[in-house]
Amino acid sequence: MESKEFEFHGGSLNGFLMCAIDVLLYVATLYFLVRGIVDADAGRPCALWFVLTGVLFIAAIICSCGFAMLEPNEAKVMTFFGRYVGTFRKTGFFWLNPFMSVKNVSLRARNLNAEPIKVNDKVGNPVLIGLVLVWRLKDTYKAIFDIDTDVSNQANVGNSATARMNKFQNFVAVQSDSALREVAGLYAYDNEGNDDHEVTLRDGSEEINQVLKDKLNERLAMAGMEAVEARINYLAYAPEIAAVMLRRQQAAAIITAREKIVDGAVSMVKMALDKLSKENVVELDDEKKAAMVSNLLVVLCGDDSAQPVVNAGTLNH
């Protein structure tokens, strides 16, 4: 959707110059008021002085209402009797048309540390997942006019940019929750029982973070916001299945360890038999080799320390 935002091209004057002019108007107002009072006491015509006093006083009040100061990465959305006339972004102290309505916004990056939520992953396992998001305002027109962020009815808020940005943050939080649920449902928690080459929530961080960022930008674009960075910062099984999944992981780890132990033991047994045969240390028939292999495997693969038994006989017995 094409952006309707554009820069404010209306009149703006140097704030310090207008401040000096405003002081002169108040001084002139006081001067004409005194002249009017003096002429009235002397019986001379004084109506002109009082008219000038009223006009200058009104002009001074109007000038006093137009001062505006902008820091870097701040903006003012300008409307004139309900019509959008542009976004003012110049940094410094200025005087603007006081008859325009101004909505202050911040263009600075903001953090959102979302609390972990419970969702189901691709295979239906309940997991707890949370994210940290860096976002900022990109399109002031959409942010102000396409979503409801009115703060005028909040006590002691006025036209505060902070209050308005907090409203935006609430919108971002809701959309982040929705995007996180969608992304979590696209991937399994881990590869247990799944394709080993499949991207999972546990090990596919970069890809999943990029998908999460894209999903967030799709949702935030309607409000003129953008996700600068989105990352999953918390991931765990839900409490009701955490103990079961822990036992499954422990069992898988034990099986993997056993496989390595057996592979190593078989290799060592083969090396021992080959070395005994090559160096003619002892001649073993198939029955003795089988017994030796059995004993070595028990010693190498067992959890407890082996208890040796001394055989005092000979190979002929």
Does any domain span residue 55?
yes
* 204, 253: one domain: no
Strand, helix or coil for residue 178: helix
Are 136 and 226 in contact, with CB atoms under 8 Å apart?
Answer: yes
pLDDT above 90: residue 25:
yes
Quote the pLDDT of residue 39.
81
Q: 153 falls in which pLDDT band (50, 70, 90)?
A: low
Q: Is residue 179 packed enough to be buried (19+ CB in 10 Å), middle (13-18) or exposed (0-12)?
A: buried
Q: 159-203 pLDDT, tens per residue?
A: 677 888 888 999 999 999 999 999 988 988 877 655 567 788 888
Both 119 and 219 in one domain: the answer is: yes
Is residue 62 domain-resident? Answer: yes
Residue 208 lies in a domain: yes
Residue 5 lies in a domain: no
Least confident of 72-81, 199-208, 272-281: 272-281
Of 39-53, 146-160, 219-233, the poorest mean pLDDT is in 146-160
Residue range(s) defining the domain that contains residue 127: 110-237
Banded pLDDT at 156 (limits 50, 70, 90): very low
DSSP letters, 25-88, are: HHHHHHHHHHHHHHHHHHTS--HHHHHHHHHHHHHHHHHHT-EEEE-TTEEEEEEETTEEEEEE
In this structure, is residue 270 part of a structural domain? yes
Q: Are residues 26 and 72 in the same domain?
A: yes
> Across all residues in the chain, what is the average pLDDT?
82
Query: What total number of domains does the chain contain?
Result: 3
More confident position, 210 or 279: 210
What residue spans of the chain are helical by DSSP H?
Answer: 15-42, 47-64, 140-145, 161-184, 205-220, 239-278, 286-301
In the predicted structure, residue 264 carries a pLDDT above the cut 90: no
233, part of any domain: yes
